[in-house]
Amino acid sequence: MKFFKPWTIIVVLISIGWAQSYPPPTTLITVPSAGTLVRGSYAMQMRVQKGGGLTSSLSVGITDRFQFGLSFGSANLIGDDSLVWYPRPEANLKYRLIDETESVPGFSLGVNTQGMGNFNAADSLMRYDVKAMGLYLAASKNWKTPLGNIGVHAGSNYNFIEVNDGDKDINYFFGFDMEFNPELSLLLEYNAALNENDMTAKTMSISRGGYLNAAIRWTFVEHLHIEMDFNNLLFDDDKVDYFQREMKITYIEYF
Task: List, in order of start, the domains of the chain with CATH numbers.
Answer: 6-254 (2.40.160.40)
pTM equals: 0.84
| DSSP per-residue codes, 42-75 | EEEEEEE-GGG-EEEEEEEESSSSEEEEEEEEEE
Query: How far, in Å, CA of 19 to CA of 34, rounded?
Result: 18
Helix, strand, or coil (residue 156): strand
Contact 30, 214 (CB under 8 A): no
Residue 241: HSE in the Cβ half-sphere, 13 Å Cα cutoff: 1
Q: pLDDT tens string for the chain (255 positions)?
A: 444 454 443 333 333 333 333 345 899 999 999 999 999 999 999 999 887 889 999 999 999 999 999 999 998 888 777 788 899 999 999 999 999 998 999 999 999 999 998 888 876 788 898 999 999 999 999 998 888 889 999 999 999 999 888 888 899 999 999 998 888 999 999 999 888 876 444 555 556 678 999 999 998 887 899 999 999 888 766 666 678 899 999 999 998
N residues, the chain? 255
